[in-house]
Amino acid sequence: MSENLIKPDLQAMGKAAKEAARQLYRLDTATKNSVLNAMAAALREAEAEILAANAEDMQAAGHLDQAMQDRLRLDSSRLDSIAKDVENVARLKDPVGEEFDKRMLQGGMNIRRRRVPLGVVGVIYEARPNVTVDVATLCLKSGNAVILRGGKETLRTNQAMAKVLKTVLREHNLPEQAVQLIESPDRELVGQLLKLDQYVDMIIPRGGASLHQLCKEQSTIPVITGGIGVCHLYADSFIDLEMAVPVIVNAKVQRPTVCNALDTLLLHHSIAPDLIPDLAKSLAEAGVEVRADVQSYPLFEALNYPKLTHSTHQDFGTEFLDLILSVKVVEDIDEAMEHIAEYGSGHSDGILTLKTDHAERFLNEVDSAAVYVNASTRFTDGAQFGLGAEVAVSTQKLHARGPMALEGLTTYKWLVEGQWNVRP
Amino acid sequence: MSENLIKPDLQAMGKAAKEAARQLYRLDTATKNSVLNAMAAALREAEAEILAANAEDMQAAGHLDQAMQDRLRLDSSRLDSIAKDVENVARLKDPVGEEFDKRMLQGGMNIRRRRVPLGVVGVIYEARPNVTVDVATLCLKSGNAVILRGGKETLRTNQAMAKVLKTVLREHNLPEQAVQLIESPDRELVGQLLKLDQYVDMIIPRGGASLHQLCKEQSTIPVITGGIGVCHLYADSFIDLEMAVPVIVNAKVQRPTVCNALDTLLLHHSIAPDLIPDLAKSLAEAGVEVRADVQSYPLFEALNYPKLTHSTHQDFGTEFLDLILSVKVVEDIDEAMEHIAEYGSGHSDGILTLKTDHAERFLNEVDSAAVYVNASTRFTDGAQFGLGAEVAVSTQKLHARGPMALEGLTTYKWLVEGQWNVRP
């Protein structure tokens, strides 16, 4: 662990990453895929070293709660699934090289756009042992160099896995600086990374609201912000109650700690009395705390709902990341959409309805990264959306919105082939 | 001018813009086009007021140099051409509503992406009387509200034109806050605008390097940086001298003050002795100062080139914006591409060659927004590239690269239509 005592030189890391990126820029898909498959094999071969490093991390994490410890822990089967994910990345379609908007301009110039790697990507992430490999291999597949800054709780695991990836790069005559890990836990280094605009083309924060805010405020590099989801479902006046209840429950309880989990249920006043009894039963079974507005409270109260409180203003527009649901009765679809525009975070919002004109209006007028009709908000995810992977869920509007995978790690350039043309 | 004494409340402007944007979000193309055509007509009708306001600006600009004064001046024909540009915007294809990547997911969910307006765009620009109308109408066409901050030298002209646009918006029952002008010259307001991330979705700086740097450093809103072009042409070992010379000269002299003008000419050592005599003649006629490296200097000197100096390190990687050209002899295409990677700004770079494999390598390996074969760099422009307009030339890699027009003023959302699907 002596490396941790030497303060990394971020400028030097940035420069090395940019140089490495120039080599990756030229790699063909077959080469990238064979490196990726070699990485998967090498990770499996290095199981002993990686699990030993993880055991050290686990020992240092003895003071953390069980849920956190479980998240940090690697075992043989989890490592195998990380290796499988790398093989999956090798199978994904390579967006680099794709050409579009081909046209002929005046004077016989041929113009087209070609998708190319971004260059260098900086990723700042929480302590999850799979992210290092996941992000590094997605960056490699899209031809980018990456600078990784992971949570300190998995530092030894990250070091062991990065070492494996670097060895494979070297064995394929590729620059090992294509994958660099900031190994010191010094928080100041995050600030330094965010200012490396001379070398780094994009910053992806993967973490909570405060990390995204920090990046937004301090970075001189374009940032993909996101991750915060204040998600709504609106149960419209004409719905299939039997079908609607499982969708609402799924959105709330299937995995409450993630950004696409439901936070606020909006109910049309006409269906609230019919919907709430069935819904309350399922929510109560799942242990959901309900924070009900003045109109819905009596309906839950009449059922002796076990975990019931009066909602306050703070319960709307809040990402609970927990088994808590705020409930509000609205007059109509307009009030529902107004509420979403005011309190939502533009992540995932849906309508449950049998009225096609209401579905249409909701799809047209609600401006969120993912807008749903009759489905759980839990589907907002790169894999679920058929992208094969996910590097981030963007809730900002530039470059990529919603789940972002390989295409989001590319840019394009304009290619112009002339016949000695001059501008008149 | 009493408005100038009241300090604008940027928070209130941002909030009003966001509310206006919600209305614009729903407008159909026909409505937007009829508003745009009405704006063109209204600008022509308001000629007297607009030219009177411009005359006031001109009077206050008496101390500025002639070139600057000419840039600020409006007359009947220039105003007409601004109105014509608005009619052109009305004719452009509306990117909003376009759908792509339509697929069916497991469980019968239909998913697609739909192009939608960004929301609110902030534009900071130099004193050019056409930009206010140009940017405001491109934003309107793409369904965005805009907050404009123009150069103080054209404030009265901008106010007069914004007033016309607002009147037309009101007449069409649209919110006049869709177009807002920051009327106070207080520089602090730029800093405030850059922090309005709660309301503003994108910042476009149109100006010099220092403005772009300021935005990059201070903005908490995504910024489209660009505008700085250190442009190169590489004359390869096998070229058509007669065709190559006019391309080099055009790139340098056709309009030397803009970002896509040539800055550095790289010459293959084998063709330098043949190319320089013809080239020198044309460059000398155009009054170009040549800053020649140690190998090319004697070749210019032998011709008694009138404005010749030895290049210093600073002459490479500099955007001259003037009739100055740095010249360097290189060994081969590799050295040329290395030079461009090191000194270029990723704007516009080209090769002049008759070797198709060299053209191919240059297109593949040079990572600039626009990469040329056998054409002048002066073509990097929205109109020249067939986009019909240009709001910015981006040299960053996210969202939009190179000339950016209506599509760059949009984002997309994911629409998911399910059948009461839940995530397993």
Q: Output the DSSP codes for B28-68.
A: -HHHHHHHHHHHHHHHHHTHHHHHHHHHHHHHHTTTS-HHH
CA distance B309 to B134: 41
User: What residues of chain A lie within 8 A of the CB of B223, using their CB?
Assistant: 222
Which helix or strand (DSSP H or E) is residue B202 part of?
strand B202-206
CA distance B234 to A53: 51
Q: What is the pLDDT of residue A3?
A: 45
Domains in chain A: boundaries: 2-225+400-417, 231-384
Return the DSSP state at A226: B
Residues 382 to 401 of B: which have CB under 8 A from any A CB? Answer: 384-386, 396-399, 401
- Furthest C-alpha separation in chain A: 82
CB-based contact, B298 to chain A, within 8 Å: no
CB-based contact, B375 to chain A, within 8 Å: yes
Nearest CA in chain A to B247: A422
3-state secondary structure B339-399: HHHHHCCCCEEEEECCCHHHHHHHHHHCCCCEEEEEECHHHCCCCCCCCCCCCEEECCCCC
Q: What length does chain B have?
A: 424
Q: Please name which of B259, B15, B323 lies closest in space to residue B126, comparing C-alpha atoms.
A: B259
Please say if the pLDDT value at position A51 is more than 70. Answer: yes
Q: What are phi and psi of A310, to 5 degrees?
A: -75, 130
CA angle centred on B163, ends B3 and B197, rounded to 5° = 70
CA distance B170 to chain A (A): 22
Instruction: Spell A334-365 as b/e; 16+ CB within 10 A means b.
Output: ebbbebbbebbbbbbbbbbbeeeebbebbbeb
Task: Note the Cα A51 to chain centre separation in Å.
Answer: 26
Q: Which of A398, A416, A420 sits opposite B399 (nearest CB)?
A: A398
Mark yes or no for CB contact A418/B372 under 8 Å.
Answer: yes
Question: pLDDT truncated to tens, each residue of chain B (424 aa)?
Answer: 444 456 789 999 999 999 999 999 999 999 999 999 999 999 999 999 999 999 999 999 988 888 888 889 999 999 999 999 999 999 999 999 999 999 999 899 999 999 999 999 999 998 888 999 999 999 999 999 999 999 999 999 999 999 999 999 999 999 999 999 999 888 899 999 999 999 999 999 998 888 999 999 999 999 999 878 999 999 999 999 999 999 999 999 999 999 999 999 999 999 999 999 999 999 999 999 999 999 999 999 999 999 999 999 999 999 999 999 999 999 999 999 999 999 999 999 999 999 999 999 999 999 999 999 999 999 999 999 999 889 999 999 999 999 999 999 999 999 999 999 999 9
Task: Name which of B366, B367, B378 to mutate to probe chain A: the one with the most chain A Cβ atoms within 10 A of its Cβ.
Answer: B367
Mark yes or no for CB contact B421/A375 under 8 Å.
Answer: yes
CB-based contact, B18 to chain A, within 8 Å: no
What six digits make up the tokens of B10?
């940027």
User: What residues of chain B lie within 8 A of the CB of A197, using their CB?
Assistant: 216
Contacts of A396 (CB under 8 A, 6+ apart): A223, A224, A225, A226, B201, B222
What six digits make up the tokens of B301?
């000197």
CB-based contact, A118 to chain B, within 8 Å: yes
Q: What are phi and psi of A373, to 5 degrees?
A: -120, 125
CB-based contact, B286 to chain A, within 8 Å: no
Sign of the alpha-carbon torsion through B167, B173, B174, B177: positive
What six digits make up the tokens of B375?
């054409």
Nearest CA in chain A to B116: A367
CB atoms within 10 A of CB A203: 26
The alpha carbons of chain A give a radius of gyration, in whole angstroms, of 24
Contact of B381 with A381, CB cutoff 8 Å: no
CA distance B336 to B235: 9
Q: What is the pLDDT of residue A65?
A: 87
Task: Note the Cα B86 to chain centre separation in Å.
Answer: 17
CA distance B199 to B193: 10
Alpha helices in A194-296 (DSSP H): 209-218, 241-253, 272-285
SS3 A274: helix
User: What residues of chain A lie within 8 A of the CB of B197, using their CB?
Assistant: 216
Mark yes or no for CB contact B247/A411 under 8 Å.
Answer: no
Distance between start and end Cα atoms, chain A:
64
Q: What are phi and psi of B113, to 5 degrees?
A: -110, 140
Could you report the per-residue pLDDT of B303-356, keeping only the tens digit for each?
999 999 999 999 999 999 999 999 999 999 999 999 999 999 999 999 999 999
Mark yes or no for CB contact B243/A420 under 8 Å.
Answer: yes
Q: What is the pLDDT of residue A4?
A: 46
User: What residues of chain A lie within 8 A of the CB of B363, using their CB?
Assistant: 415, 417
Q: Strands B348-352, B392-394: parallel, antiparallel or unpaired by DSSP?
A: unpaired
Please say if the pLDDT value at position A2 is more than 70. Answer: no
SS3 B372: strand
Mark yes or no for CB contact B423/A109 under 8 Å.
Answer: no
Beta bridge partners of A49: none
Contact of B411 with A367, CB cutoff 8 Å: no
CB-based contact, A359 to chain B, within 8 Å: yes
Q: Please name which of B40, B47, B211, B56 lies closest in space to residue B133, comparing C-alpha atoms.
A: B40
User: What residues of chain B lie within 8 A of the CB of A369, using their CB?
Assistant: 413-414
Mark yes or no for CB contact A367/B417 under 8 Å.
Answer: no
Could you report the per-residue pLDDT of A371-415, keeping only the tens digit for each?
999 999 999 999 999 998 899 999 999 999 999 999 999 999 999
Q: What is the pLDDT of residue B228?
A: 86
On whether the A2-225+400-417 domain is CATH 1.10.10.10, my answer is no
Residues 173 to 232 of B: which have CB under 8 A from any A CB? Answer: 197, 201-202, 216-217, 220, 222-223
> Which of the four CATH numbers 3.40.630.40, 3.20.20.70, 2.40.50.140, 3.40.309.10 does domain A231-384 have?
3.40.309.10
Mark yes or no for CB contact B222/A222 under 8 Å.
Answer: yes
One-letter amino acid of B120: V
CA distance A374 to A365: 16
CB-based contact, A367 to chain B, within 8 Å: yes
Mark yes or no for CB contact A417/B247 under 8 Å.
Answer: no
Task: Name which of B236, B282, B362, B422 to mutate to probe chain A: the one with the most chain A Cβ atoms within 10 A of its Cβ.
Answer: B422
Angle between helices B47-60 and B76-91 (to 10 degrees): 120
Quickly state the pLDDT bin for A5 (edges 50, 70, 90). low
Fold of B231-381: Aldehyde Dehydrogenase; Chain A, domain 2 (3.40.309)
SS3 B213: helix
Q: What is the pLDDT of residue B139?
A: 98
CA distance B312 to A167: 42
Mark yes or no for CB contact A375/B402 under 8 Å.
Answer: no
User: What residues of chain B lie within 8 A of the CB of A22, using their CB?
Assistant: 341, 367
CB atoms within 10 A of CB B273: 14
Which pTM was predicted?
Answer: 0.94
Distance between start and end Cα atoms, chain B:
64
Mark yes or no for CB contact B397/A367 under 8 Å.
Answer: no
Mark yes or no for CB contact B365/A26 under 8 Å.
Answer: yes
CA distance B418 to A57: 43
Quickly state the pLDDT bin for A185 (edges 50, 70, 90). confident
CA distance A69 to chain B (A): 25
Q: What is the pLDDT of residue B129?
A: 86
CB-based contact, B357 to chain A, within 8 Å: no
CB-based contact, A375 to chain B, within 8 Å: yes
CA distance A309 to A385: 36
CB-based contact, A25 to chain B, within 8 Å: yes
Task: Note the Cα A342 to chain centre separation in Å.
Answer: 23
- Residue B361 buriedness (CB in 10 A; 0-12 / 13-18 / 19+): middle
CA distance A83 to chain B (A): 24
Mark yes or no for CB contact B367/A399 under 8 Å.
Answer: no
Mark yes or no for CB contact B378/A111 under 8 Å.
Answer: no
Return the DSSP state at B173: T
Task: Name which of B112, B203, B372, B414 to mutate to probe chain A: the one with the most chain A Cβ atoms within 10 A of its Cβ.
Answer: B414
CA distance B211 to B218: 10
SS3 A228: coil
CB-based contact, A243 to chain B, within 8 Å: yes
CB-based contact, A26 to chain B, within 8 Å: yes
Q: What is the pLDDT of residue A226?
A: 84
- Residue B29 buriedness (CB in 10 A; 0-12 / 13-18 / 19+): middle
CB-based contact, A110 to chain B, within 8 Å: no
CB-based contact, A357 to chain B, within 8 Å: no
Residues 322 to 341 of B: which have CB under 8 A from any A CB? Answer: 341
